[in-house]
Chain A
Amino acid sequence: MTAAVADLQVRTPAEKRRSRRLGIIYIVLALFVLWAFGIGSSGEGDSTFRLVRQTDRIQDLFGWDLNLVLPAAMVAYVIAAMLGFVGAVQLTRGFKRLDHVVLSVVLILVVFAFLTWAAAGRSFSLAGMLDETVKRSVPIALGALAGVMSERVAVVNIAIEGMLLGGAFVAAMVGSSFGSFWAIVAAMLTGVALAWVLAVLAIRYRVDQIIVGVVINIFVLGLTSFITQRILSQNPHLNRAEILRPIKLPLLGDLPIVGPILFEHNIFVYGMFVLVAVITYALFHTKWGLRSRAVGEHPKAADTLGVNVYGYRYMNVMLGGAIAGFGGAFFIQGSVGSFDENMTAGRGFIGLAAMIFGRWHPVGALSAALVFGFADSLAGKLSILEVPIPSEFLLMTPYIATIVVVAGVVGRARPPAADGVPYIKES
Chain B
Amino acid sequence: MSDEPRHESGTPPAGPGDRSLFKDLTGDGIDWRSAMLVPLLALLTAMLVGVVIIALTDIDALRLWFKDPGAAFSETRQTVWGAYHALLIGSVGSMRALSETLTQASPLILAGLSVAVGFRAGLFNIGANGQMLVGGMFAVYIGITFDLPAPIHLPLAILAGAIGGALWGFIPGLLKARTGAHEVITTIMLNLIALRLVDYFLKTSLFQAEGRPDPVSSDVHPSAELPRLLGFLDRVDLRVHLGIVIALLAAYGVYWLLFRSTIGFEYRAVGLNPQGARYAGMNVVWLYVSVMAVAGALAGLAGADRILGVLTRASPGFSGSVGFDAIALALLGRSHPAGVVAAGLLFGGLRAGGQVMQVRTDISLDLILVIQALVVVFIAAPALIRAIYRVRTGEGATEQLAKGWGST
* Chain A interface residues (CB < 8 Å from chain B): 151, 154, 156, 158, 201, 205-212, 214-219, 221-223, 225-227, 229-231, 235, 346, 349, 352-353, 356, 390, 392-393, 395-396, 399-400, 402-403, 406-409, 414-415, 417-422
Contact = CB atoms under 8 A, between A and B. Distances in A.
Interface string B45-75: 0000000010001010000000000000000
A392 B199 contact: yes
B284 interface: no
Contacts of A210: 124, 126, 184, 401-402
Contacts of A221: 366, 369
A209 B399 CA distance: 11
Contacts of A219: 369-370, 373-374, 377
Contacts of B367: 222, 226
A231 B364 CA distance: 11
Contacts of A227: 57
Given A406-B182, A419-B404, A420-B403, A230 B376 contact: no
A208 B402 contact: yes
A222 B402 contact: no
B200 A415 contact: no
A227 B57 CA distance: 7
Contact of A229 (B179, B186, B366, B396): B366
Contacts of B362: 230
| Chain B CB within 10 Å, residue with most, of A215, A223, A230, A349 | A215
B368 interface: yes
B192 A393 contact: no
Interface residues of B, number: 54
B189 interface: yes
Nearest to B175: A407
B256 interface: no
Contacts of A409: 179
Contacts of A229: 364, 366
- Binding site secondary structure of chain B: helix
Interface of B: 53, 57, 59, 124, 126, 175, 179-182, 184-186, 188-190, 192-193, 196-197, 199-200, 203, 321, 324, 327-328, 331, 362-364, 366-370, 372-374, 376-377, 380-381, 383-384, 396, 398, 400-406
Contact of A421 (B190, B380, B400): B400
Given A156-B405, A215-B376, A420-B405, A346 B192 contact: yes
B172 to A, nearest CB: 9
Contact of B366 (A225, A352, A396, A399): A225
| Chain A CB within 10 Å, residue with most, of B57, B327, B367, B402 | B402
Nearest to B186: A403
A375 B400 CA distance: 36
Contact of B398 (A211, A393, A418): A211
B403 to A, nearest CB: 7
A400 B180 contact: no
A419 B193 contact: no
B373 A211 contact: no
Contacts of B184: 158, 210
| Chain B CB within 10 Å, residue with most, of A230, A349, A396, A406 | A406
